[in-house]
Chain A
Amino acid sequence: MSFQEVIFYLFSLALLLSAGAVVVSRNTIYSALFLILTFFTTSAIWLLLQAEFLAITLILVYVGAVMVLFLFVVMMLDVNLARLKEGFIQYLPVALLVLVVMAAEMIMVVGSDKFSTEAYPLPVPKPADYSNTKELGSVLYTDFVLQFEIAAVILLVAIIAAIALTMRRRPNTKYQSPAKQVMVKKEDRLRVVKMDSE
């Protein structure tokens, strides 16, 4: 086994274990942290495939932004595990059915000829001056520019929708208008009272 293969198997093992731990662990914070570890190991495997731009973007977007907010919310929730476990036996047959269907589908897809090692030959190692970033950019902004724009519009709509959901008028909030605070003068707040000395 070459050094690269050793690293690959090491990270794959860590990936599978941490992905399993996301589901199994009892504490939601630990689940979220294992999910972060899963993203990290995935990114390491992408690095082995010489996809450094995508690997760094995965960490930047998912670990650096999405999971921070996720962890943020999970930390403030008080999850009642006992209530979540209610009806476990009752739903078990349905869950097993879903499991069998999903496993069968995945075996059919991944096991077909389209995903065999013949269909995907070993990628040729790129020369040292090969720029992953430039290559990706030149494809993304020429051949796939329409898909790229559509994705951007969908994200924009999602942002506007999320803001619209929270932007309702709440008269009882103690919001202070910074503009008014800046405009305040001494005369508005302070009154000097003349008093005779006694």
Chain B
Amino acid sequence: MLEMLISVWNWMPDALQVLIKIVAIVAPLMLAVAYTTYAERKIISYMQVRIGPNRVGPRGWLQPIADAVKLMFKEIVIPTNASRFLFLIAPVLSIGPSLAAWAVIPFNDTLLLSSLDASLLYILALTSVGVYGVIIAGWASNSKYAMMGALRSAAQIVAYEIAMGFALVGVLMAAGSLNLHDIVIGQSGGLGSWYVWPLLPLFFVYFISGVAETNRAPFDVAEGESEIVAGFHVEYSGMAFAVFFLAEYANIILIAALTSILFFAGWLSPFQGFASLSGTALEFLMQPSIAWFLIKTSFFIFVFLWLRATFPRYRYDQIMRLGWKVFIPVTIFWLLVEAIMFLMKVGPWSASVAL
């Protein structure tokens, strides 16, 4: 049976093989997105001593499916004098980049769609393109609230992208490569070799910028309910709104996955090279596995939800101040420190300097 499947696979044309691989990445991703919404509602409920969704299916497990069905059967209302084409294409522009970025994410040593040499740059380019969905949605809606939300969101994303880019520069300096696969391999050697330790300030800057970039609480002024209703997607209903929603959660998962790859060694085990574990029943913990990647990613998704349940919304001028006046100087300073450590050959990267 297995041999037959392998022969069928080899017989297929390349384009079809790639297509199947894309489906194999996107379908579980969409499922994960659906259940992230469920996880968000449940986790925040428990943090606020509520029960959360518990009606649809056992313990509310079917809630995301019920939500999806409901949204699918709703009418998509297009506002009068809205730019029809742009109004409808904006959600697609929003979700497209966040799905396309998964093309270069390595799940484990061999499981990745494309080993692009400049994959970190590719990710950075795609996340910066995602802002167009927001801007175009805000402009095409022909609504003041939507416009204000779009302007806020665009200014915020542009501001935090710079800090995010600098944080990534620190990672690629340490790894000596733009390839995500090589970046993970550069962190092999167990817990102590992860880039999070030498690059701790950059990790915090990167993750907080990621929260700001996805317009999540406490930086969700783009959809601040108390001031501008729902921000850029106030005029959207039905499936068009659902696509924006999916894009936001796909972005959360993407940022969480990237954090675990860039700073926490992706699929590598934290116990790699622990001599005391070898030979015992726990030896399997030392093996690199996709499970590590999924565990680390899930943890950072949880942190996203945790932040939302914990912090009140930032004031807008303070968001801008944090991005421009705190994060950018911190990253520039740490890049300087890293460069000096490079020259003095202190730190875990001294081996990778000899290119």
Q: Are B118 and A68 in contact (CB under 8 A)?
A: no
B118 partner, pick from A53, A71, A75, beta carbons under 8 A: A53
A29 at the interface (CB under 8 A from B): yes
Q: Which residues of chain B from 118 to 174 have any CB-CB distance to chain A below 8 Å in the complex?
A: 118, 121-122, 124-125, 128-129, 131-132, 135-136, 139, 147, 150-151, 154-155, 157-158, 161
What is the CB-to-nearest-CB distance from B96 to chain A, in angstroms, rounded to a whole number? 12
Inter-chain CA distance A76–B116, complex, in Å, is: 38
A60 partner, pick from B125, B136, B158, B318, beta carbons under 8 A: B125
Q: Per-residue CB proximity of A127-148 to B under 8 Å, as 1/0?
A: 0000111000000000000000
Q: Assuming A59-B129, A60-B128, is B122 touching A72 (CB within 8 A)?
A: no
Inter-chain CA distance A72–B135, complex, in Å, is: 8
Q: Are B321 and A53 in contact (CB under 8 A)?
A: no
A178 at the interface (CB under 8 A from B): yes
Q: Which residues of A contact B129 (CB under 8 A)?
A: 59, 63-64
Q: Are B135 and A71 in contact (CB under 8 A)?
A: yes
What is the CB-to-nearest-CB distance from A64 to chain B, in angstroms, rounded to a whole number? 3
Q: Are A59 and B117 in contact (CB under 8 A)?
A: no
Q: Are A132 and B118 in contact (CB under 8 A)?
A: yes
Across the interface, name the chain A residue whose C-beta is closest to B140. Answer: A29
Q: Which residues of A contact B118 (CB under 8 A)?
A: 52-53, 56, 132-133
Q: Which residues of A contact B132 (CB under 8 A)?
A: 36, 68, 71
Binding site for B on A (CB under 8 A): 29, 33, 36, 52-53, 56-57, 59-60, 63-65, 68-69, 71-72, 75-76, 131-133, 176, 178
Apart from A68-B154, A72-B135, A133-B178: 8 A-B pairs, beta carbons within 8 A = A56-B125, A64-B161, A65-B158, A71-B135, A75-B135, A133-B118, A178-B318, A178-B321
14 A-B contacts, Cβ less than 8 Å apart? Answer: A53-B118, A53-B121, A56-B118, A60-B121, A60-B125, A63-B125, A63-B128, A64-B124, A65-B128, A68-B131, A72-B154, A132-B117, A132-B118, A133-B118
Q: Which 6 A-B pairs rank lowest in CB-CB distance, beginning with the nearest?
A: A64-B128, A60-B125, A59-B125, A56-B121, A56-B125, A133-B118
